[in-house]
Amino acid sequence: MNMHLYAFGSICRGEIDASSDIDLLACLSEPNQSIDPNKFSIYTYERIKKLWEEGNPFSWHLHLESSLIYSSDGANFLRDLQAPSKYSNAANDCKKFQKLFTESYSSLMESSNSMVFNLSCMFLATRNFATCFSLGTGDPIFSRLSPLLIAKKLPIERGAFDILVRARILSTRGYGDPISEPEVKTAKSVAPVIIEWMSDCLSKEGAP
């Protein structure tokens, strides 16, 4: 059985902090019960090749930010695939994430019952929007801070954005300080700015 294991993401960017997890990829030729799906993103070689052919954002993420940690045959499978096909679905993907943000913001304004979850979805939508937008313009940034790092930077303060980051970590890992009422108020106040920024990015002048 062939197997290639990779680390990717923040550990390869050097962005590790107390809230970071270690992203691991397992490429397998057949199922292997020794590979824990709770620790690894598991893909067949055929599925990885398909992602490469599609120019999928995840393929570009792996191409640009992965490091081989084990190879059963001495080869570097991902490196040997060379660059993925051009990513050509940026505008549609960005619109999907804009819709997710708008819906999550509306839910936040209507009820506080799922406050952390909605803030988490707002972060996910904002980060993924920026990542897809930057990849579409040919200057990809996969960092969790991508909205603040891309050329068409999100015009809000880092502290306000960090509230959304913390909500994501709380929602997915249960780690970190609770989001306070003043912080929720801040997140609500910057949400219209984020929506306007997304619309501006998708305008005729800014569209990838």
Of 46, 40, 39, the residue nearest 2 (C-alpha)? 46
The CATH code of domain 90-201 reads 1.20.120
pLDDT (average), residues 12-27: 82
- For the chain, domain boundaries: 3-80, 90-201
Q: In sequence order, which ranges of the chain are alpha helices (DSSP H)?
A: 10-13, 45-54, 57-64, 77-80, 90-110, 115-136, 146-149, 158-173, 181-201
With a cut of 60, say whether residue 32 has pLDDT above it.
Answer: yes
CA 91/CA 128 separation, integer angstroms: 12
pLDDT (tens digit, 9 = 90+) per residue, 110-154? 998 899 999 999 999 999 999 999 999 999 999 999 999 999 999
Residues 6+ apart with CB under 8 A from 28: 1, 2, 3, 35, 42, 43, 44, 45
Query: Are 8 and 26 spatial neighbours (Cβ–Cβ below 8 Å)?
Result: no
Residue 81 is given by DSSP the state T
Read off the pLDDT of residues 176-194 as tens digits, 9 standing for 90 and up: 889 999 999 999 999 999 9
Which residue bears the tokens 């062939």?
2
Cα 200 to chain centroid distance, Å, stands at 21
Rounded to two decimals, what is the model's pTM?
Answer: 0.91
Cα–Cα distance for residue pair 196/48, rounded to 1 Å: 35
- Among candidates 153, 165, 160, 170, which has minimal Cα distance to 191? 160
Q: What is the pLDDT of residue 62?
A: 97
Nearest to 57 by CA among 130, 159, 149, 165: 130
What are 62-120's pLDDT values in tens digits?
Answer: 999 999 999 999 999 999 999 999 999 999 999 999 999 999 999 999 998 899 999 99
